[in-house]
């Protein structure tokens, strides 16, 4: 087994707070000796933030050096990545190579069954956190729309913007009502567009020609908004 050590410091101040390069290297070598590693390879990124994994050349080299049965060893997960998402991505990259991850401070060691279980729990908690964020975002957007606030993007057909709030455009609302009625009656998108043209309704771009894709996009947005209101 190769012990592939990865060390990182982002500031000079870290040289005196217990996680200097020397301190990290010493911990990694001690683990390698205790676990009878055949070889120790060390990779270091000095003065580089841990915010992103793809801008750290030594980390990328360490991952490439890992092969089946090897272990990437770090002093702590904070040296490896700043986010759980990036940490999990690195662990998955190692797993594809048949290698393991060891973080000494957190006592995470995927070479053991217990270590694998801890890491899986970390993955589940990370996914739960992402789902919660998405749910809160959807709720906030629904609330803003129900209050007539614009939530980004183009102003939807059937509305206009006044003082940052969406208000109904009477003429466009008539066009929307006609689209919905014609769809209910079984008209095709092209037939709906032809009827809108015949009745003199203009597109948002001010064109008299209604392309079927434009009609489809408006109806899709209406269906989505109705579905969100139904679950609010």
Give, to the nearest 10 degrees, the angle between helix 170-184 and helix 189-198: 140
Q: Which of 10, 20, 76, 78 is catalytic?
A: 10
**Radius of gyration (Cα) for the chain, nearest Å?**
28
- Which H helix or E strand runs over 61? helix 57-65
Q: Which residues of 5-38 are buried (b: 16+ CB within 10 A; e: fewer)?
A: bbbbbbeeebeeeebbbebbbebbbebbeeeebe
Task: Report how far residue 225's alpha carbon sits from residue 139's, in angstroms, rounded to the nearest whole number.
Answer: 13
C-alpha–C-alpha distance, residues 117 and 107, integer Å:
12
Instruction: Give burial (CB, 10 Å; 0-12/13-18/19+) of 206.
Output: exposed
For residue 199, the Cα-to-chain-centroid distance in whole angstroms is: 45
Could you list the beta-strand ranges (E) of 47-115.
71-74, 100-103, 108-109
> Is residue 146 annotated as part of the catalytic site, yes or no?
no
Q: Which are the catalytic amino acids?
A: 10
């Amino acid at each position: 087994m190769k012990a592939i050590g990865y060390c990182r410091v982002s500031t000079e101040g870290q040289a005196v707070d217990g996680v200097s390069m020397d301190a990290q290297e010493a911990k990694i070598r001690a683990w390698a000796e205790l676990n009878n590693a055949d070889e120790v390879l060390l990779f270091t990124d000095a003065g580089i933030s841990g915010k992103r994994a793809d801008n750290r050349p030594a980390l990328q080299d360490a991952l490439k050096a890992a092969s089946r049965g090897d272990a990437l060893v770090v002093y702590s997960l904070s040296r490896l990545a700043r986010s759980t998402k990036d940490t999990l991505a690195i662990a998955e990259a190692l797993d594809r190579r048949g290698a393991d991850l060891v973080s000494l401070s957190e006592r995470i060691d995927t070479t053991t069954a217990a270590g694998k279980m801890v890491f899986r729990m970390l993955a589940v908690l990370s996914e739960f956190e992402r789902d919660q964020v998405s749910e809160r975002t959807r709720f906030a957007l629904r609330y803003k729309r129900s209050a007539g606030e614009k939530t980004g993007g183009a102003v939807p057909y059937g509305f206009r913007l006044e003082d940052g709030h969406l208000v109904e455009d009477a003429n466009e609302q008539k066009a929307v009502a006609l689209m919905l009625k014609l769809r209910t009656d079984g008209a095709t998108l092209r037939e709906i567009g032809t009827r809108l043209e015949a009745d003199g309704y203009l597109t948002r771009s001010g064109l008299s020609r209604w392309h079927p894709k434009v009609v489809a996009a408006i109806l899709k947005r209406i269906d989505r908004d109705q579905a969100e209101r139904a679950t609010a």
